[in-house]
Amino acid sequence: MAAKRLKIDQDSNGKVKRDDERNTTTKLADALIYIVPKKIPKARLQVLNNLAQKKGFLLSERFSDSVTHIVTGYETVDRVHAFLERQPASNVEVVNLDWLTDCITENKIVNVTGKVRIKSVGELSSQKSSGVARAESNKLEETSPNEYQDNKFVCQRATPLKHHNTKFTDALEILERHAVYVDSTQRDSRALAFRRAACALKSYPKQITRIEEASKLSSVGNHSKKEILENGSSDEVQDILSSEFFKTMEVFSSIYGCGPATARKWYEKGYRSIADVHHAVSDGMKLTEQQTMGFKYHSDLVKPVPKEEAINIKDIVIKELSKIQPNCIVELVGGYRRGKLSGHDVDILITHQNNSKVEGLLHKLVERLEKLDLMVGRNPHFESKTLYLKSVKGIGEGSQRQGGHMDSLDHCFCMFQMGKSFENEKVEHSCMQTTGEADETGTSTGSSSSEQMAAVVRRVDLIVAPHKQFPFALLGWTGSKQFNRSLRDYAWKVLKVKLSNHGMWDHKHIPVRQVEATSEQEIFHELKLEYRDPHDRNA
């Protein structure tokens, strides 16, 4: 008959209590072991459980803060964290099955060495950065020497929207999102590792069919690479997709104003649906004004915005601008400018060749849109920063957050809805300068008529930039986030140039010298980079 599993209990202080202390030593009593059931054959798991209990080891049927050792068949700590849906304390040892076998053999808790300790993706990546991994990397580069260069910076490679390795990149994007969701002190570095691996694959000029070619995926184990190549996915990705944690975090993160930290907080409180959060609000839980808008219009905001509709919204903005200030320059930016056919928000960048015409322009536009009932909500603390009235010298001298495009430009995040009075009205803006496919001055004369739009709420970001800063704002708000991160990283590390949405400053000169540019092409030229069309910035 199988040995009876010891019953583990805890007192109010979290100290482990047990109802059977026979055949145990002090050392055994100091350790509480949790065996991750995944990736271990059931027969072997039962044998290990029986042997460990007969020897007097304390086993926990579930993971808790009292656990001192986690035994697993997973290859990385990251996969253990994904299974647990949490980050254990730093003093918890994560070990392989050999450690438990050694403990049973020696009838004591043996020391944890590097041989049995399970490592993180980051640690494995560091180990692979030399030796065999370097050899595999060279093989990849030799695969197509005339077509592919494994440059250090993403901004040095073309990254098209449509590429040959979606099988890998789709899986990596799920791993990246999960890494952001999991409460981990290393979540940013893990997510970045997955993102960088995806970028390398997006740039590769052919479909990867052999595991040797996938050496750039240092963030993913060889077993997972093989699974993805053969089946289009991996056990890890499927485990994530089917987990309650990931599904819930995806739902909460789809709410405007709810980031990963808030979503995690709600999950830890036991909420599993939007209805649960609604009940909590009814019971007194407070929401921010953005979250209130996010809940109110959630069913609309989760629907993709087709590019045609985004152009219609831009045309409405152009029409109303013409009544406030003629001859504005307007650009639809973000993913649409990079070639995407849909998105979840509409970013519109505005300027005027005469800086005196820019001052107060956004306030006037917002007021007009609100009076026309086109705007049903906006960020509550909207105000112009009037950066165009100040010296921008200091902007490039301090630290610049890499990758993002939050800046000091005038902007308004709003909820936009087509009013009934506009449903059958055509937008007339022949007098306006709009930048569809912009020339070097950022202008063009193309236009698009506004057709009927359903009364659906869309998130629209309106950004106004001084004309001198417009090329830099255009580059930054076009994205992608990873391309911007790489471009700014390259500019600083290689050239000692600080690049932002406002301009660029050369720190090799004392005092710091501002570098001017009148177009995106000039910015790339000043940075000594080959110009990348927006369609090739989908990192």
Bind-site residues for Mg(2+): 345, 347, 461
> Are 455 and 402 in contact, with CB atoms under 8 Å apart?
no
Cα–Cα dist 49/32, whole Å: 13
- Annotated binding-site members: 345, 347, 461
Which is nearest to 476 in space by CA: 390, 383, 411? 411
Tokens of residue 310, six digits: 């985004």
Calculate the alpha carbon distances from 513 to 389, 500, 516 in Å.
Answer: 20, 14, 10
Contacts of 151 (CB under 8 A, 6+ apart): 157
What residues contact residue 299 under an 8 Å CB cut-off, 6+ apart? none
Measured CA to CA in angstroms, residue 120 lies from 38, 95, 220, 235, 443 at distances of 18, 12, 11, 18, 49
Q: How far apart are CA 289 and CA 474, in angstroms?
A: 29
| Whole-number Å distance between alpha carbons of 407 and 400 | 9
Q: 158 by DSSP, 3-state: which?
A: coil
Neighbour tally for 66: CB within 10 Å:
16
- Other CB atoms closer than 10 Å to residue 28's CB: what's the count? 19
Give the DSSP H/E element, type plus range, for residue 332: strand 329-332
- CA dist list (Å): 167 to 30, 199, 243, 341, 425: 46, 13, 21, 20, 44
Distance CA(465)–CA(351), nearest Å, equals 5
Q: Tally Cβ neighbours within 10 Å of residue 164.
A: 16
| Cα→Cα distances 244→267, 271, 273, Å | 10, 11, 11
SS (H, E, C) 158-210: CECCCCCCHHHHHHHHHHHHHHHHCCCCCHHHHHHHHHHHHHHHHHCCCCCCC
Distance in angstroms (rounded) separating the CA atoms of residues 399 and 148: 33
Bond prior to 511 in cis (omega within 30° of 0): yes
Q: 413: helix, coil or strand?
A: strand
* Sign of the CA dihedral with 351 first, then 352, 353, and 357 last: negative
